[in-house]
Structure 1
Amino acid sequence: MPSRTIVALLLAVLFSPRVTIGADAPPNFIIVFCDDLGYGDLGCFGHPTIRTPNLDRMAEEGQRWTNFYVGASICTPSRAALLTGRLPIRSGMCSDVHGVLFPRSLGGLPAEEITIAEVLREQGYATGCVGKWHLGHLPQYLPTTQGFDSYWGIPYSNDMDQQPGFPGYHKRARSDANYMATIEQFNVPILSGTQEVERPANQHTLTERYTQHAIDFIHANKDQPFFLYLAHNLPHIPLFAGDAYVGSSRRGLYGDVVQEIDAGVGRIRDTLDELDLSDNTLIVFTSDNGPWRTFGTHGGSAGLLRAGKGTTFEGGMREPTIFCWPGHVPPGVQAEMGATMDLLPTFAALADAEYPDDRELDGYDLSAVLTGKAEKSPRDRMFYWRGQQLFAVRQGPWKAHFVTRDQYEGMPKKKHEVPLLYHLEHDPGEKYDVAAQQPEVIEQLTALADAHRGSIEPVKDQLAEWGPAKPKQEANK
């Protein structure tokens, strides 16, 4: 071959924007999962005073999904749904006895459940979990038994193990937008792997340390495909912000906390850029459920959506969600339906990995719509469970409520002889019940709900059983 031809070919390879070293390598995956973040709490989802420039840029360069759901409206069952691709009613990770796992709980995510981490590790991925777990604090349930090579974080919510003898956090938080508790008020441990390394956790520095551990994981695994699950325990109460962020927001301490999380996302994206990994890494940002509205300014906002955490109204289960993967995910706003349960089959498809076919999955492969190869999402329905009861069903734009509860605590359930019916594209705030005008839609959604209930096989309630109380500690709601 003439030398000039060789030179021309080399120049073409070196300067082609689409040809990079490892271009055929399987993609890396990062999930950034917040806790109690509301649909309206990011700048790119309409908040007027919380500044989230890094997430806003990520949304501009990627896709902002406006109809994206979680599998439950409270912590433990939502996290189980994300990692297994299954509604928590199928794994026993929801309960009418205790809503979530507590420090006295004896159960956790069953070993026979298959997580995203296990699916990807079988494909040669390094897997790391950083942050809040809340799927079982006993050794047999921790992340390193569920497919993760490493873990650093807190095993349950940051308001648990509340200590007696301190001023009441809940009362102070409801009356002071800037109130921040002392770290000794909550005796929450930090685990590294299965070992306790700090107690109580210094919650002033947790967000920064989560970000640093995430960055360290990326550096350590830059030469192989990796899956990083970064699960912040904020903005769940009690709210804590690092010194550099206290007072940084016009929205008070809640805004400070969200802005620190946003800054961490910026640091992670900078790390990917520095390591030349951005074009081969899909980042997903979302939250486990909606805002804890009963905490006033220490809770977030669901924007135009109704209600919040603990409810099956849209504000409890529709989450602010961003997908970013430069060169693969076309930028834009995506109004098609998706859910955290879809991440397992989507990641499996993108990584050419096998995922379990011996069990009922509730997730759909979104890879075609995500990458612009298809216009319609395979997901056209959503089932809204609260504990062990199906409260509502959505199919297409229609949503029927069979049972409602207006907030997380202090309100009774309401059973509706004629289900409430809302057209979510016309009425995302669920203000206008049109059941009387649409009896055929009610009939269709009732039949869908009945068929779905029939697909549920009874399993052990993993959240119901508690051990004895620990001395000088009390479980916190």
Structure 2
Amino acid sequence: MERKSKIRVGVWGAALSAAVACTPSQQSEKAGKELPNVILIHLDDMGYGDLSLTGATGYKTPHIDRMANEGLFFTHYYSPQAVSSASRAGLLTGCYPNRVGFAGALGPTSGIGISDDEVTIAELLKEKGYATAAYGKWHLGVQSQFLPTNHGFDEFYGIPYSNDMWPLHPTGTYPDLPLFENKEIVNPAVSPDDQAQFTTDFTYRTVDFIKKKHDNPFFIYLAHPMPHVPLYVSDKFKGKSEQGLYGDVMMEIDWSVGEIIKTLEETGLDKQTLVIFTSDNGPWLNYGNHAGSTAGYREGKGTTFEGGQRVPCIMMWRGVIPEGGISNSLASGIDILPTLAEITSAPLPEHIIDGVSLLPILKGDVEAKPRETFYYYYRQNSLEAVRHGDWKLVYPHPGRSYEGSQPGNEGKPGKVKEGYPFPGALYDLRRDPGERYDVSGTYPDIVGKLEQIANVARQDLGDDLTGNEGSNRRQPGRISGQ
């Protein structure tokens, strides 16, 4: 499919319209340089409470804290879904994952991946002349047709799926984990020593790309495999924290953020670069001391309770985003693509997307509410909850529960209850962010309002819990011939 059939003209970003309002053939070199660079730092399984600014103990994250002090912290930001592949599909396409045919986490033998018909952030920004790179974990399909260099990225250096999908998995059986350079496997069997260098290697790749491309706008997607288990850290941070290996890993990730900010300062790009820091979902709690913290939110990874999807998000853009901002407005990873489209005047996809632009918040209106509603989907296509404003309606559903089970230790998982029968409930997240007190009996009118909102989602995106297939879902990419 040709690019022009996948995109439509977007709105102009107010701050940059003067520089980019002309046609591509008329844009001057100066106008191109005025487009902001974008660095999206995406962690794996980091919980809401894993930063010192959100209550982490035993280690500090000063560089990430600095990002918040000099930028904007979103307190009600949600990953698109509570599991890796689906969450990443939502982040890079601006869509709910089930809209684009994604559910769960793809494995080494999965026959699907991101469709050629979808438009990624990288493809969107390449329309504006951006150089693009992806470093770290991909997890949107392992076959060549699904790799980053076929979906808008000029460079890729990293692993195709999760770092635990390898022969040393504590409970499963997997083949060797490969390391890719673009489409070529440069290391067919990643070792523990290799994993210990991941954070450092992917950071230096990012630093080098900034230095090489500093004269033109660029987009870097730095998707750290950590702090997903198995945890590995380089010698420079081994044993440095008071919280054991998990703290060591978070300290190294914080170092990585510091190296990137330092490079932007050294190249004079700190006022021309939007840096975004977030996580793909909440912590994998049954791994005990090798898992992160939800800061008290209920449950964790693999659940549609707050601990599974509410994660930190920080955006820093010196001179544009006011310093020290805190937004309590609802936001999600699916909103990043349309936000970047408005900032850069990049054309939006022709097909339906679900994200909204957060630019009013980034420009200083922290009370703006571009998003009022969020759908919590999980499993194949189950609408397990819906949020509108401060209210969250949870539907009866079978799910994962960590509560009441002894977690594992030192890289070994503990038991977790799968298929646990959660009852329905209405929660007021303003007063009860831990989702402990069902107030549906007190507010039946709110239940009715949220049910109407959910019915719209069921018609559009479907819902396995009610047997609705949905009318506007798209298929994932499939291996040719299958």
**TM-score (ref. length: structure 2):** 0.84
Instruction: Assess, with a 3 A threshold, how the Cα gap between structure 1 residues 135 and 103 changes in structure 2: closer, same or farther.
Output: same
The residue aligned with 1:113 is 118
The answer for the alignment partner of 1:87 in structure 2 is 96
The match for 1:246 is 238
Q: Deviations over 1:205-263 (max 9, x none)?
A: 01100000111111111000011000011111100011111111111101111110110
Task: Tell whether 2:280 aligns with 1:310.
Answer: no
Q: Shift of the alpha carbon at 1:462?
A: 4.5
Aligned-partner residue type, residue 355 of structure 2: G
Match for residue 180 of structure 2 among 176, 180, 191: 191
In the alignment, the residues of structure 2 paired with residue 391 and residue 105 of structure 1 have an alpha-carbon distance, to the nearest angstrom, of: 25
RMSD of Structure 2 on Structure 1 (CA): 2.4
Shift of 1:453: 1.3
| Counterpart contact for 2:281–2:301, Cα < 8 Å | yes
| Alignment pair present for 1:213 and 2:193 | no
Aligned partners of 1:315 and 1:302: how far apart in 2? 5
Q: Give 1:162 shift.
A: 2.1
Residue 445 of structure 1 is aligned with which of 431, 450, 465? Answer: 450
**In structure 1, the residue corresponding to 2:227 is in which secondary structure?**
coil
Q: Report the AA paired with residue 124 of structure 1.
A: G
Partner SS for 1:30: strand
Q: 1:340 to 1:124 in 2, by over 3 A?
A: same
2:250 alignment partner in structure 1? 258
Question: Which residue, 403, 425, 428 being the options, matches 2:430?
Answer: 425
Question: Percent of pairs identical after alignment?
Answer: 42
Matched residues, number: 425
Please tell me the residue identity of whatever aligns with 2:102. Answer: M
Deviation at 1:169, TM superposition (A): 3.5
Correspondence for 1:46? 55
Q: Hey, what's the Cα distance between the residues in 2 that align with 1:88 and 1:384?
A: 10
Task: Identify the residue that residue 370 of structure 1 maps to in structure 2.
Answer: 362
Query: Helix, strand or coil: the match of 2:328?
Result: strand
Q: Is the 8 A contact 2:400 2:417 kept in 1?
A: no
2:127 corresponds in structure 1 to 122
Match in the other structure for 2:410: none
Moved over 6 A (4+): 21-24
Per-residue Cα deviation, 1:303-356 (whole angstroms, up to 9, x for no partner): 021110000000000111111111110122111111111100100111111111
* Aligned counterparts of 2:477 and 2:302: Cα–Cα separation in 1: 16
Number of the residue aligned with 2:338: 345
CA 1:280–1:422 in structure 2 vs 1: closer, same or farther (change >3 Å)?
same
Identify if the C-alpha distance between structure 1 residues 373 and 320 changes in structure 2 by more than 3 Å, giving closer, same or farther. closer
Aligned 8 A contact 2:376 2:386 in 1? yes
SS of residue in 1 equivalent to 2:455: helix
State yes or no: 1:60 paired with 2:53: no
Q: Which has the higher Rg, Structure 1 or Structure 2? A: 1
Matched residue, 1:410 = 417
Which range moved further: 397-406 or 268-277?
397-406
Contact 2:372 2:388 in 1 (8 A): yes
Residues 429 and 415 (structure 1), Cα distance of their counterparts in 2 relative to 1, 3 Å cut: closer
Post-superposition CA distance 1:13-46 (Å, at most 9, x none): xxxxxxxx98970111110000000000000111
* Residues in 2 aligned to 1:170 and 1:112: alpha-carbon distance in whole angstroms: 36
* Segment of structure 1 superposing worse, 368-377 or 45-54: 368-377
The one-letter code matched in structure 2 to 1:109 is I
Q: Which residue of 2 aligns with 1:169?
A: 170
Alpha-carbon deviations, 1:123-171, whole Å to 9, x = none? 11111100100000100000011111110000000011325xxxx7369
Partner of 2:82: 73
Q: 1:401 aligns with which of 394, 404, 407?
A: 394
Deviations 1:174-207 (A, max 9, x none): xxxxxxxxxxx97211100000011322101011
**Paired position in structure 2 for 1:11:** none
| 2:168 maps to 1:154 | no
Assess if the C-alpha contact under 8 Å between 1:158 and 1:186 holds in 2.
Answer: no
Query: Following TM superposition, by how much is the alpha carbon of 1:47 offset from its aligned partner in structure 2, in angstroms?
Result: 1.1
Whether contact under 8 Å (1:435, 1:442) holds in the other structure is yes
Instruction: Report SS of the residue matched to 1:140.
Output: helix
Is the contact made by 1:127 and 1:228 (CA closer than 8 Å) also made in structure 2? yes
> Matched residue of 1:245: which SS?
coil
> Which deviates the most, 407-416 or 28-37?
407-416
Cα separation, 2, equivalents of 1:373 and 1:319 = 21
